[in-house]
Amino acid sequence: MTSRTDQIAADFPPPRACPMHQPAEYERRRTEEPIAKTEMPGGGQAWLVTTFDDVRAALADPRLSSDRRRAGFPRYAPTIGINAAVSSGGPFGDRPLMIGLDGEEHARARRAVLGEFTVKRMRALKPRIQEIVDDHIDAMLGEGSPADLVQALSLPVPSLVICEQLGVPYADHDFFQTCTTTLLSWKSTSEQRRQGLIDLFGYIKQLCSAKEQAADPGDDLIGRQILKQREEGEVDHQGLVATALILLIAGHETTANMISLGTVALIENPDVLGRIRDDPELTPAAVEELLRFFSITGPVTSRVATSDIEIGGVTVREGEGVVALLPSANHDATVFADPATIDIDRGARHHVAFGYGAHQCLGQNLARLELQIVFDTLFRRVPDLRFAVPLEELPFKSDSTIYGLHKLPVVW
């Protein structure tokens, strides 16, 4: 069994000089060696693709596979974890998650739930999300200053929204949030990650089985999938578990981190904050710019070549790993001038923070809506929100696959 101490001397991810900015190494690579090999934390090498155009070309290329079971897939975490969940086998489940499927198998899994994430569906969810945000701000204000914004708002809002959407009891949030943190943290040991996966899979399997056995499986995403599949024939239990699991994990942790980081950035940039407070019509543009600026999913957009291909003039051989680095692409100065500045007038909507190509984020409309509602409501209702400690003392997640904050102590 591998432990963190077995780790080889990886040069990925490179360090950040400032927690609010991308590693300087990405800029050096973009200009000096835009596609070059790097030592990965889990062992082995992968091609790091760093420019906007090359990242988009890589993510649009069907010869680059998302299948974590293939030899050569970049091992971006030091111990087993989310890749094992995404793949399959052993105690970890039976079907790869959507994010780890290719071709028609992927398209089928994605198509089945696409209708749950349309702009129209999201519009219908808006009043409920607003209510959830208001309730949590009420509770935070009721408890009084200071507060940890992560626990008071960032984590519960997307968790509760995805729970209601899926039909997962929110009462279990401590359990699934802890499992997710363990899976994504690079500090977890192999054993902790393995246990986290077994627990999370077990929980979702049980939940799906109970709904499958019920005459009325409920008017939620999992329930509607069951009803649809019953009409078409047999319920695909393994597919259902895989879909519920990816949506539960991806649906809360990512948005939670963007809420925390976005709040920090807005407090640090009072001119931007003042503009969106005066004119909430500007909030959607601010959200796009914050998504671009932080690009929190780091190495998640990894792939492995299924044949020899050329990216940006470099030949990637069959079986070699590729990391299409979104944070670097979104800071490519040839596309986003002065990329280290938060500029809500730049028109950042073509950023790749939600990925690109066949696997582009399924929940992006939901994430955008949650972020817009949270930022508008939080700073309207708590206009003098400030950090309780200096920025340098905030615990940023430099040890996780998804960037963010462990805690955000605030006062008002």
Binding site for ligand HEM (CB under 6 A): 66, 98-99, 110, 162, 246-247, 250-251, 254-255, 258, 296-297, 300-301, 326, 353-355, 359, 361-363, 366-367
As a whole number of angstroms, the distance between CA 262 and CA 367 comes to 13
Beta bridge partners of 185: 400
As a whole number of angstroms, the distance between CA 169 and CA 322 comes to 38
Report the nearest approach of ligand HEM to the CB of residue 327 (Å).
10
Report the nearest approach of ligand HEM to the CB of residue 36 (Å).
21
Residue of 88, 255, 81 whose CA lies nearest to 161:
255
- Given a contact cutoff of 8 angstroms between Cβ atoms, the answer to whether 354 and 364 are in contact is yes
Single-letter amino acid, residue 114? L
Q: In which residue are the tokens 């974590």 written?
A: 68
The three-state secondary structure class of 17 is: coil
- Could you list the beta-strand ranges (E) of 160-306: 302-305
Beta carbon nearer to ligand HEM, 184 or 214? 184
Report the nearest approach of ligand HEM to the CB of residue 145 (Å).
27
Q: Which helix (H) or strand (E) holds 310?
A: strand 309-311
> How crowded is residue 220: how many other Cβ atoms within 10 Å of its Cβ?
17
Beta carbon nearer to ligand HEM, 241 or 278? 241
As a whole number of angstroms, the distance between CA 339 and CA 332 comes to 7
Report the nearest approach of ligand HEM to the CB of residue 208 (Å).
16
Beta carbon nearer to ligand HEM, 146 or 223? 223
Report the nearest approach of ligand HEM to the CB of residue 356 (Å).
7
In the β-sheet with 147-148, what is the strand arrangement from edge to edge? 147-148, 409-411, 386-387
Q: In which residue are the tokens 């960037």 written?
A: 403
Beta carbon nearer to ligand HEM, 51 or 297? 297
Please give the radius of gyration of the chain, using alpha carbons only, rounded to the nearest integer: 21
Beta carbon nearer to ligand HEM, 167 or 355? 355
- Given a contact cutoff of 8 angstroms between Cβ atoms, the answer to whether 330 and 55 are in contact is no
Q: In which residue are the tokens 């024939």 written?
A: 233
Beta carbon nearer to ligand HEM, 76 or 379? 76
Report the nearest approach of ligand HEM to the CB of residue 297 (Å).
4
Report the nearest approach of ligand HEM to the CB of residue 243 (Å).
8
Report the nearest approach of ligand HEM to the CB of residue 289 (Å).
13
Beta carbon nearer to ligand HEM, 8 or 60? 60
Report the nearest approach of ligand HEM to the CB of residue 329 (Å).
11
Beta carbon nearer to ligand HEM, 124 or 411? 124
> How crowded is residue 398: how many other Cβ atoms within 10 Å of its Cβ?
11
Omega within 30 of 0 (cis) for the link into 299:
no
Alpha helices in 10-155 (DSSP H): 24-32, 52-60, 82-86, 103-114, 119-143, 149
Beta carbon nearer to ligand HEM, 222 or 362? 362
Beta carbon nearer to ligand HEM, 30 or 359? 359
Q: Which residue is nearest to ligand HEM (CB)?
A: 363
Report the nearest approach of ligand HEM to the CB of residue 5 (Å).
29
